Homo-oligomer: A and B are copies of this chain.
Amino acid sequence: MKVRLGMIGGGQGAFIGGVHRMAAALDGLYELVAGAFSSDAEKSKATGVLLGLAPERVYNSYIELIEQEKQRPAHERVQVISIVTPNHLHFEPAKLALENGFHVILDKPMTFSLAEAKQLQQVAASSGGLFCLTHTYTGYPMVKEAKQLVAAGTLGTIRKVYVEYPQGWLSSFEEGTDNKQAAWRTDPARSGVAGAMGDIGTHAFNLLEYVSGLQVIKLCADINIVVPGRQLDDDGAVLLKLSNGASAVLMASQIAAGEENNVRIRVYGEKGGLEWQQADANTLLVKWLNKPTEIRRTGAGYVSSFAQHNTRTPAGHPEGYLEAFANLYRNFALTLQARLTGQTAPAEAADYPSIEEGVRGMAFIESVIASGKSEQKWTDFTN
């Protein structure tokens, strides 16, 4: 049985809404049956028509969606609600959905503020609903492989992590044009206290904690607004201290002119290191002190069960961003289906970012912005 999916946000012209729909569709595990795609009723309706939804299940607001779906018979009712609105519109719909018994998939960063994030964490806990936060990059098979290698102690104690996310698309004052993506992502009223650090810095942060299995405990940030007239940070670099005493560097920029989205992580332990980057997403380099570097590849027979579970095609047939995104959706569906049938999802399926990662991400945003304003070197990471 396919999981019945409803969507909040993602009207025509939105970028990430389409990505969520492709991710949900790829493996045939979801059926999109309802949506409140826009606060503009006409636009919501038009999107519903395009997507072939029944007209009565295209709503004008998230409240309407939640209230009316709740009244539908159990076998027909939406089970999971995907929320793909800008940041300031994450908390209320997510809270309402959870409170009304729906499971939730939410785009990152989780909320507008850390306070909201903690509140949502409580709501999620008491509701018992499942929750997924779409930190895409941890859905890549070779990122899974990296985490497993570290967790197995293959590299020894971790000593150093470099993580970076360079982009160039905000090198000019894009928010002064009709670029809607730029408009809300650079607007404090819709994006929150952070720009680049919220939009892509949180991805880098999540990748760092996910792969290393360590937590950031303090940090020192250089946060910059480079493009004149911009209201939020578009560049930053952060020195970090991790829970085992290791140190790290995190770099995120939206003014790295000519860069696409080459999120990259390098982790070094006592015995070796590893390197992954989105530009070569199906490769994981594993480096050793006294042996040749290994090229581990998506789809190969020797990789961990976690990497294999998140792979669809044989080695050499590249899996990309949508497949990584779809892995989040797939794992969430498998976990939900297991629960509904009274089973336990295998560890590989249960491995998707959830509410804790969301709270950590919001704590990162607030800590990093605070550090950026501080004259003190180290700022404690608090959440």
Partner among B51, B239, B321 whose Cβ is within 8 Å of the Cβ of A318: B321
Give the residues in chain B near A132, CB-CB below 8 Å: none
Residue A118 lies at the interface, judged by CB distance under 8 Å to chain B: no
Q: How long is the Cα–Cα vector from A320 to B287 in the complex, in angstroms? A: 23
Give the residues in chain B near A169, CB-CB below 8 Å: 314
Given contacts A220-B220, A289-B171, A377-B377, contact A315 B271 (CB under 8 A): no
Taking CB atoms and an 8 Å cut-off, the chain A residues in 263-308 that contact chain B are 266, 268-273, 278-281, 285-297, 299-302
Interface 1/0 per residue, A150-190 and B, CB below 8 Å: 00000100011010101111011000000000000000000
Give the number of times this chain occurs in the complex, counting copies. Answer: 4
Residue A67 lies at the interface, judged by CB distance under 8 Å to chain B: no
Partner among B51, B258, B269 whose Cβ is within 8 Å of the Cβ of A293: B258
Contact A279 B318 (CB under 8 A): yes
Residue A72 lies at the interface, judged by CB distance under 8 Å to chain B: no
Residue A13 lies at the interface, judged by CB distance under 8 Å to chain B: no
Residue A71 lies at the interface, judged by CB distance under 8 Å to chain B: no
Interface 1/0 per residue, A244-277 and B, CB below 8 Å: 0001010101011111111000101111110000
Residue A229 lies at the interface, judged by CB distance under 8 Å to chain B: no
Partner among B2, B222, B258, B314 whose Cβ is within 8 Å of the Cβ of A247: B222
Residue A214 lies at the interface, judged by CB distance under 8 Å to chain B: no
Taking CB atoms and an 8 Å cut-off, the chain A residues in 195-220 that contact chain B are 220
Residue A224 lies at the interface, judged by CB distance under 8 Å to chain B: yes
Q: How long is the Cα–Cα vector from A280 to B283 in the complex, in angstroms? A: 11
Contact A322 B321 (CB under 8 A): no
Give the residues in chain B near A319, CB-CB below 8 Å: 320-322
Q: How long is the Cα–Cα vector from A292 to B315 in the complex, in angstroms? A: 11
Given contacts A220-B220, A302-B292, contact A257 B262 (CB under 8 A): no
Give the residues in chain B near A253, CB-CB below 8 Å: 160, 268
Contact B300 A292 (CB under 8 A): yes
Contact B257 A271 (CB under 8 A): yes
Given contacts A321-B317, A376-B376, contact A268 B278 (CB under 8 A): no
Contact B316 A261 (CB under 8 A): yes
CB distance from A338 to the nearest CB of B (A): 16
Taking CB atoms and an 8 Å cut-off, the chain A residues in 1-37 that contact chain B are 1-2, 15, 18-19, 21-22, 25-28, 32
CB distance from A301 to the nearest CB of B (A): 6
Give the residues in chain B near A313, CB-CB below 8 Å: 19, 320-322
Contact A237 B226 (CB under 8 A): no
Residue A52 lies at the interface, judged by CB distance under 8 Å to chain B: yes
Contact B237 A257 (CB under 8 A): no
CB distance from A274 to the nearest CB of B (A): 8
Contact A257 B28 (CB under 8 A): no
Given contacts A251-B162, A268-B255, contact A317 B320 (CB under 8 A): yes
Q: How long is the Cα–Cα vector from A159 to B222 in the complex, in angstroms? A: 14
21 contacts between A and B (CB under 8 A): A18-B312, A19-B312, A155-B257, A159-B255, A160-B253, A220-B222, A239-B239, A257-B270, A257-B273, A258-B268, A258-B286, A259-B268, A259-B273, A281-B318, A286-B292, A291-B302, A292-B300, A294-B294, A312-B322, A322-B322, A375-B376
Task: Report, nearest first, the 8 A-B pairs whose CB atoms are least far apart.
Answer: A258-B287, A260-B316, A261-B316, A320-B320, A317-B321, A318-B320, A292-B294, A293-B295
